[in-house]
Amino acid sequence: MKFRCERDDLLEAVQFATRAISNRATLPVLSGLRIEAGDTGEVRLAATDLELTIEASFKAGVDEPGRAIVPGRLFGEMARNLGAGQVSLMAGDGEVEIGSGRGQFRVKSLATDDYPALPLEDAGADGVSVEVDAGALATALSQVVRAASTDESRQVLTGVVWELEADKLTMAATDSYRLAVAEVPIAGGPKEARKVILPSRAIQELVRVLQNAPAAGFSTIVRDNLISFLIQSGEEGGSSGGSAISSRFIEGEFPNYRQLLPEGYKNKLTVDKDDLIEVVRRVGLLAQNNLPVKLQLGNELEISAHTPDVGEGQELLDAEYEGDAFVIAFNPQFLFDGASAIQTDKLVISAGDGLKPAILKGDNDTRFTYLLMPVRLS
């Protein structure tokens, strides 16, 4: 293998692909980064931990097609510290040589035969190609993934469930204290509804790449045991390469979250979303030691917090209210997360009383729902 490329193109691809390398790799070869130069002038980098696979490609001057496996973390640091301009890579005799300016560096390579096959190399695998707007998907996923659990003892709750229908995708996540549900329209979905659970790690990587740079092309392929997202970067039809994220599903049964969503709450408060976020941020500073912020619902919304031996704070907000006045309390971070996920200027809080879960939605927005369990006041 031998090719020439711009340092920035190499660095961008290395930094993206190596995000799939786990610090807890079960096999030594999984700490490696696969570099493959094709005879079409494309260089493709890939890393995997067998659950998550990330690939990135860019155009280069390929003199000799080939493949090499290099230590991922070390090679990433090397690429980051190379000088700007053109660099060259050449593989042979169990090592990879990197040329940059007047410098030459060598790093021992790993056995290519030990590296696992990548999901997209299985050309014969059946799958359903789903059409979905990249921007709409990124927004919905960013809204939902924040509610996923970080408790590995309940692995199904660390993921985001996808319910695929012919023309609609419903996503949900919960950590037992809150629930986020979002819908996006799709085309080409399965004829029979299908439910899969995607790891949050894969979701976060997809959101990151879609939000950082608009995709010129985007496609989703759902297979029996994994999902692949193909992202074409740069201008439509350009030569700047692209990337792919593939993830295996989490095995298990996701809770029936739909039965948790209440209907018909008579108490509804409408408030400016940005104002609520700012007040919760300020007042929440006085809610320490896992204490909640209290919301006094009425024609004015009073938000308050009190931590003994620390201090207290309260602030009023203009609001529109229908229903009976009462107090409800929430974890300030969970409330902040839910309000921040709303995409409209006005936020609607619907609640039954201070003990039942509340619903946060944007006004005139039927595609995203955030359910939040209240904190019981003593």
pLDDT tier at 100, thresholds 50, 70, 90: very high
Lowest mean pLDDT among 184-198, 203-217, 234-248: 234-248
Residues 6+ apart with CB under 8 A from 123: none
Residue 26 CB neighbours (<10 A): 8
Which CATH superfamily groups domain 261-372? DNA Polymerase III, subunit A, domain 2 (3.10.150.10)
pLDDT tier at 33, thresholds 50, 70, 90: very high
**Fold classified for 128-258:** DNA Polymerase III; Chain A, domain 2 (3.10.150)
Sheet containing 168-174: give its strands across.
Answer: 194-199, 159-164, 168-174, 178-185, 368-372, 358-362, 346-351, 267-272, 320-322
Q: Is the pLDDT of residue 200 over 90?
A: yes
Per-position b or e across 44-65, b if 16+ CB within 10 A of its CB: bbbbbbebbbbbbbbbbebeeb
Q: Is the pLDDT of residue 23 over 90?
A: no
Rounded to an integer, what distance in angstroms lies between the CA atom of residue 166 and that of residue 7?
A: 44
pLDDT tier at 138, thresholds 50, 70, 90: very high
Which has more pLDDT, 236 or 148? 148
Residues 6+ apart with CB under 8 A from 258: none
Q: Which of 206, 93, 147 is nearest to 336 (CA)?
A: 147
Rounded to an integer, what distance in angstroms lies between the CA atom of residue 52 and that of residue 249?
A: 10
Phi/psi of residue 197, nearest 5 degrees: -120, 120
Q: Is the pLDDT of residue 238 over 50?
A: no
Rounded to an integer, what distance in angstroms lies between the CA atom of residue 342 and that of residue 360?
A: 8
Q: What single-letter amino acid sits at 55?
A: E
Structure tokens at 254: 């996701």
Average pLDDT over residues 57-68: 96
Rg (CA), the chain: 25
CATH fold match for the domains 2-116 and 128-258: yes
Residue 373, pLDDT score: 97
| C-alpha neighbours within 13 Å on the C-beta side of residue 288 | 9
- pLDDT (tens digit, 9 = 90+) per residue, 255-307? 999 999 998 899 999 999 999 999 999 999 999 999 999 999 998 999 999 99
pTM (two decimals): 0.91
Q: Which of 67, 73, 57, 94 is nearest to 25 (CA)?
A: 73
Average pLDDT over residues 97-109: 94
- Give the H or E element holding residue 347: strand 346-351
Q: Is the pLDDT of residue 145 over 60?
A: yes
Lowest mean pLDDT among 10-24, 72-86, 106-120, 203-217: 203-217
Average pLDDT over residues 217-223: 90
Provide the CATH number for the domain formed by 2-116 in this structure: 3.10.150.10
Q: How far is CA 47 from CA 67, 204, 208, 291, in A?
A: 13, 16, 17, 42
Tokens 């990330």 -> residue: 54
Q: Where are the domains of the chain?
A: 2-116, 128-258, 261-372
Average pLDDT over residues 108-114: 93
Residue 237, pLDDT score: 43
Instruction: Check the CA dihedral 269-275-281-287 and report its sign.
Output: negative
Q: What single-letter amino acid sits at 338?
A: G
Spatial contact of 95 and 68, defined as CB atoms under 8 Å apart: no
Residue 125, pLDDT score: 65
Residue 123, pLDDT score: 56
